[in-house]
C-alpha cells in the first residue's frame, strides 16, 4: 500500500506539520488484528509511540488495548475510550500518583520492575483496600541486535528484574497481601528486524516458565512486549510489517501452558508508516562541497535523527527534475539539527514541499519547544 500525498492540498497547509494517511493506518491495524487473532493473541498498543488522539481512537476502535509508561499516558488512553481492563502500565520509575491513578481506575496490570516498586504498589493498594494485579518484568538477557539506546533486555540495562533476583522477588511476593501475580513480562528492545532475536526470547521464556512452575507459580499471562521493526528505507514497498511471520514465530517457539494468554505490546510497527513530517524548503545554500537544503522543520519536530542517528527516507514531492545531493538541515541552533546527509533529491528550490517518511512513531509524540518553536500541528487524509 502506497502512502498518498494530495500535493495541492498539502501545499496549502502551514509547515511544518505531521500528515497521517489513515488508509495506511487502518490497513496496518487490520493486519495486526487478523494475524494476532488467528492465534488468540492479545495486543496492547504502546502509547509512547504516538499518543495523538485521532490515532489512539482509531487503534481503540479496532479492539486493541493500551500499553502505557506514564500516568498521563494512562489518562490519555482512558480519555480516548480505552477500557481499563485492557490497560497495562509499565515503566521503571512509577511515581506514587501514577500508581494511585492506575489503582483508582482498576487497570488490568502493573508491569513491575523491582522489589522496591513491588513493595510500594502493595502499600498504596493496601491504603485503598484494593489488590493490585501485577506482572514481573524480567530481564531475559537477550540481545535484540538493535541500536544500543533502544536495547532494553540486557543485564546492563536499567529495565526489568534480573534473573538472579527472582528468588528474592518470589519470597517478597509471598509476604505481600495487596498484590496478585497476574503474569510475567518481557521486552528486549525496539526496531528489531532480525526475527531470530524473538526466537531467542521465546526459548528464554520457556526456561523461565519451567522455573516458575517448579515453584508452583502459574503465570496466567505471558507478555512478550513489542519491538518489531519497520522498513525505513522502503516505506511504500513495505508499508505493512510482516506480522504473519512475527506472530507465527511465537506460536511455533513459545510453549504456552493450558489456560495461559500471550500478550504483545506493539507500537512502532503499528503506526510508523502512516505518518510523515511535512516541511518546506526555506533556502538552498551551497558550500564548497555540499548543497544544503534548509527546511522549516527542525530536530524539535522530529528528534530521532539527532538522538539516534536514525534514518528516515526524505522525498521532495514538488519536483521531478534530475537528482542532486543535499544535506537536509533545519533552522535550530544545533549542528545536530540534520535530517539526512548527501540525500539524493530532485533539484530542489525554495518553497518545495519535503516529506520525511516513516514518522508516525516517535515523531509527533517526542516534539518539543526548543528555541521556543511552536509544536507541529497534525492533519489527516480523511479530513483535509
Q: Alpha carbon of 338 to those of 175, 308, 368: distances in Å? A: 53, 12, 16
* CATH 2.40.37.10 domain residues, the chain: 273-380
Are 89 and 109 in contact, with CB atoms under 8 Å apart?
A: yes
- Rounded Cα distance between 153 and 149, Å, is 11
Q: Does 6 score more than 80 pLDDT?
A: yes
131-145, 243-257, 326-340: segment of lowest average pLDDT: 131-145
* CATH 3.20.20.10 domain residues, the chain: 22-271
Per CATH, the number for 273-380 is 2.40.37.10
Fold of the domain spanning 22-271: TIM Barrel (3.20.20)
Q: Which tens digit of pLDDT belongs to each residue from 215-271? A: 999 999 999 999 999 999 999 999 999 999 999 999 999 999 999 999 999 999 999
Amino acid at each position: 500500500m502506497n502512502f498518498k500525498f494530495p500535493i495541492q492540498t498539502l501545499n496549502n497547509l502551514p509547515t511544518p506539520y505531521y500528515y497521517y494517511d489513515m488508509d495506511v493506518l487502518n490497513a496496518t491495524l487490520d493486519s495486526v488484528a487478523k494475524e494476532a487473532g488467528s492465534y488468540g493473541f492479545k495486543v496492547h498498543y504502546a502509547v509512547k509511540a504516538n499518543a495523538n488522539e485521532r490515532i489512539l481512537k482509531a487503534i481503540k476502535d479496532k479492539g486493541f488495548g493500551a500499553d502505557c509508561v506514564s500516568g498521563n499516558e494512562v489518562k490519555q488512553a482512558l480519555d480516548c475510550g480505552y477500557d481499563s481492563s485492557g490497560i497495562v502500565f509499565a515503566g521503571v520509575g512509577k511515581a506514587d500518583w501514577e500508581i494511585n491513578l492506575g489503582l483508582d481506575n482498576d487497570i488490568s496490570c502493573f508491569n513491575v520492575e523491582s522489589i522496591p516498586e513491588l513493595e510500594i504498589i502493595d502499600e498504596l493498594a493496601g491504603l485503598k483496600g484494593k489488590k493490585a494485579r501485577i506482572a514481573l518484568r524480567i530481564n531475559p538477557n537477550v540481545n535484540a541486535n538493535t541500536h544500543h539506546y533502544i536495547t532494553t533486555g540486557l543485564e546492563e540495562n536499567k529495565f526489568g528484574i534480573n534473573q538472579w533476583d527472582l528468588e528474592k522477588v518470589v519470597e517478597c511476593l509471598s509476604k505481600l497481601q495487596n498484590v496478585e501475580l497476574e503474569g510475567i513480562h518481557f521486552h528486549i528492545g525496539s526496531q528489531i528486524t532480525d526475527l531470530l532475536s524473538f526466537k531467542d526470547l521465546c526459548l528464554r521464556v520457556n526456561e523461565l516458565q519451567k522455573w516458575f512452575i517448579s515453584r508452583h507459580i502459574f503465570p496466567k499471562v505471558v507478555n512478550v512486549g513489542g519491538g518489531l521493526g519497520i522498513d525505513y528505507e522502503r516505506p511504500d514497498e513495505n508499508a505493512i510489517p510482516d506480522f504473519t511471520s512475527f506472530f507465527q514465530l511465537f506460536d511455533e517457539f513459545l510453549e504456552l501452558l493450558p489456560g495461559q494468554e500471550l500478550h504483545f505490546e506493539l507500537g512502532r510497527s503499528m503506526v510508523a508508516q502512516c505518518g510523515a513530517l511535512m516541511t518546506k524548503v526555506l533556502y538552498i545554500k551551497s558550500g564548497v562541497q555540499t548543497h544544503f537544503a534548509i527546511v522549516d522543520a527542525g530536530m524539535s519536530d522530529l528528534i530521532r535523527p539527532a538522538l539516534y542517528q536514525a534514518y528516515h527516507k526524505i522525498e521532495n514531492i514538488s519536483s521531478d527534475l534530475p537528482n542532486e545531493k543535499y544535506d537536509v538541515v533545519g533552522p535550530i541552533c544545533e549542528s545536530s539539527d540534520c535530517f539526512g546527509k548527501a540525500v539524493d533529491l530532485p533539484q530542489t528550490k525554495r518553497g518545495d514541499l519535503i516529506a520525511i517518511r516513516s514518522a508516525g512513531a516517535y515523531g509527533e509524540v517526542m516534539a518539543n519547544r526548543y528555541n521556543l518553536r511552536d509544536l507541529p500541528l497534525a492533519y489527516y487524509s480523511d479530513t483535509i
